[in-house]
Amino acid sequence: MVTMPDEFHAQVQGSSTAGNGLFATKDIPAGGLIFRKTRPLIGVLDIGHLADTCSNCFVWTQDHSLLEPTDVPKEVKACTGCQVLRYCSKKCQSQSWKRHHKHECSVLTKAPTPHLLPQAVRATMQITRMRESGVMAEDDWEGLVKLDSHYETVESMGGERFETLQTFGMGAWQYSTPTPRSFSILDSQKMFARVLVNALTLVSPSFDPMGICIDPIASVANHSCDPNAVAVMDHPGLSFRALRSIKKGEEVFISYIDSTEWFAMRQKLLKAKYHFTCRCSKCEHGPTLREDQFAIRPKDLSKKWKRFADDHVKESPELGNEEGCYVGPTPDDRRASILLALAWDEIKQAQAYAFTPISLSAKIEKLEMGMRLHYQSKLFAITRQPWPQFRHELMVAKLSTSNMQDAAIAWMQAVKTYFLIDPVLYPQSFHPVRVVHVWTLALLTLYIVSDADSHPAFKGLVESCPSLPHVVYGLLREVAENVGKSHGEGTKFAKVVTDKFEQMKMDTFGGDAMLERVMRDHLKDVWVGFRTVADWMEY
């Protein structure tokens, strides 16, 4: 596929929000392209993806959800020099070598335990070597040094965080052998701080986190918990797309965090990592919006769950006092805070498990325990975090077991997400996360329909919902209609979606437009039956 050229409809200028910002240079419609780069300036995989992902195009060997199997490499081969970075092809290895790797290969070779160097350290080392070797454009360099490091803020706070910044910044300088001529240790520490504050999460087209990236254009965009734009990646392209119409001269905002979190948690995360108190249009309302609403008032908790909360606080007196879990001053508010803190702790523990058979079993048990807490306490609305996180994590974990019964459960959870959760969390039908979820559901439904005769669990689903073959068509059609706005026409993901949809139409209708029109007109009735699947599982 031909790589699409860079395209910009935004520019950097002073912002009343914070320092510099990104501003539209023309009217941009909802779903429109704000800017596109063939790749971010710096991209570094996390430790977990170094062995199974190409360090040049960021194609993940395990990602079969958004790409055809023929487009996913079976393996990535290690660089013969450093044995750290891996590539899916000689072409990718050559591109990486010319761009930056020839200036860092010996560095990674000499660095102690290079596989264990934090990604922010490796990103700082990459910046240092590219600058020292003269392969970084002056505009890119100037853009990087203009990014705020918040170094002085962290220095004034002192403590463990500042010590960490100093240690890792010095480590990046020391490992960047030969000793950098134009970089002092302080310069390296400040650049390390810039990486920490300004890096975006490097993601697959399906929004699986894979590492970090930093770019003088993308990283200058300011934050809002109600963003008008979203960052999308496409092996390895980086683009910003509009979530709603943006006027010429209007500032472009992305969200640095998961903006579906509740108010106190958003404030905590932003303050801890980015050193500011958010006063965006959403946060101006405080804890009064949908994200903070419970399904019942804390005072209406059952006696059983009030005792449950009281018993836990006896064992852990500070439980529920965490900044991100505070609900209110009353005893019942405190109980709600305790249940929220327990749920938050459960999801973080579950996310820490690796995808090994033993860990996967423990992960699923932890997730199911958290789901029961949400459901049985009756405190949480189905769309209130962290319940949606539990559901998504459980679906992914169930699909990873290779057990057909687990796959059936994952499908039912995906249907519940499709009807009851995503339309609330991501109101735009073309929101990239929502589109990816629909695509995953479409492929999973197709898998169930295709293998119904071989697996009893799948056969039972098809018998209970006989319109599933029509559902596959409807879901694929929905993705095909939205992918141009979510990811962009011409992207690899858009091509896969279009090809899959066209192939299905040919297989189903044989090119007969009249038959397809009849199917399309019948979808409303099909969706009535499909909607009932969302209620098959209690939680």
3 state SS for 32-57: CEEEEECCCCEEEECHHHCCCECCCC
Q: Which element (helix H / strand E) includes 231?
A: strand 229-234
Q: What is the C-alpha to C-alpha distance for residues 193 and 427, in angstroms, rounded to an integer?
A: 35
Q: What is the pLDDT along the chain (539 residues), one digit of tens a residue?
A: 456 779 999 999 999 988 899 999 999 999 999 999 999 999 999 988 999 999 999 998 876 554 454 566 778 999 999 898 999 999 999 999 998 898 888 888 876 665 568 899 999 999 998 898 888 999 999 999 999 999 999 999 889 989 999 999 998 998 887 777 788 999 999 999 999 999 999 998 888 899 999 999 999 999 999 999 999 999 899 999 999 999 999 999 999 999 999 999 999 999 999 999 999 999 999 999 999 999 999 999 999 999 999 999 998 888 888 889 999 999 999 999 999 999 999 999 998 887 677 889 999 999 999 999 999 999 999 999 999 999 999 999 999 888 999 999 999 999 999 999 999 999 999 999 999 999 999 999 999 999 998 899 899 999 999 899 999 999 999 999 999 999 999 998 999 999 999 999 998 888 899 999 999 999 999 999 999 999 999 99
Whole-prediction pTM value?
0.94
Containing 79, the helix (H) or strand (E) segment is none
10 Å Cβ neighbour count for 476?
24
Instruction: Provide the pLDDT for residue 526.
Output: 95
Phi, psi dihedrals of residue 21, rounded to the nearest 5°: -150, 180
Query: What is d(CA 214, CA 125) in angstroms, rounded to the nearest whole number?
Result: 13
Strand order from edge to edge, sheet including 42-45: 42-45, 209-214, 200-203
237 φ, ψ (degrees, to nearest 5): -60, 150
Peptide bond into 29 cis (omega under 30): no
Closest CA to 24 of 239, 249, 254: 249
Distance CA 537, CA 539 (A): 6
Whether the Cβ atoms of residue 432 and residue 230 lie closer than 8 Å to each other: yes
Non-local CB neighbours of 391 within 8 Å, separated by 6+ positions: 371, 413, 416, 417, 421
Token couple for 33:
């392209």
Residue 374 sits at the vertex; the CA angle it makes with 373 and 375, to the nearest 5 degrees, is 95
The continuous run of DSSP H or E covering 446 comes out as helix 432-450
Q: How many Å apart are CA 258 and CA 265, to the nearest integer?
A: 10
- What's the pLDDT score for residue 100? 87
Element counts in the chain: helices (H) and strands (E): 19, 13
Please count the residues of the chain: 539
| Phi, psi dihedrals of residue 200, rounded to the nearest 5° | -95, 155
Quote the pLDDT of residue 3: 65
CA atoms lying within 13 Å on the CB side of residue 325: 18
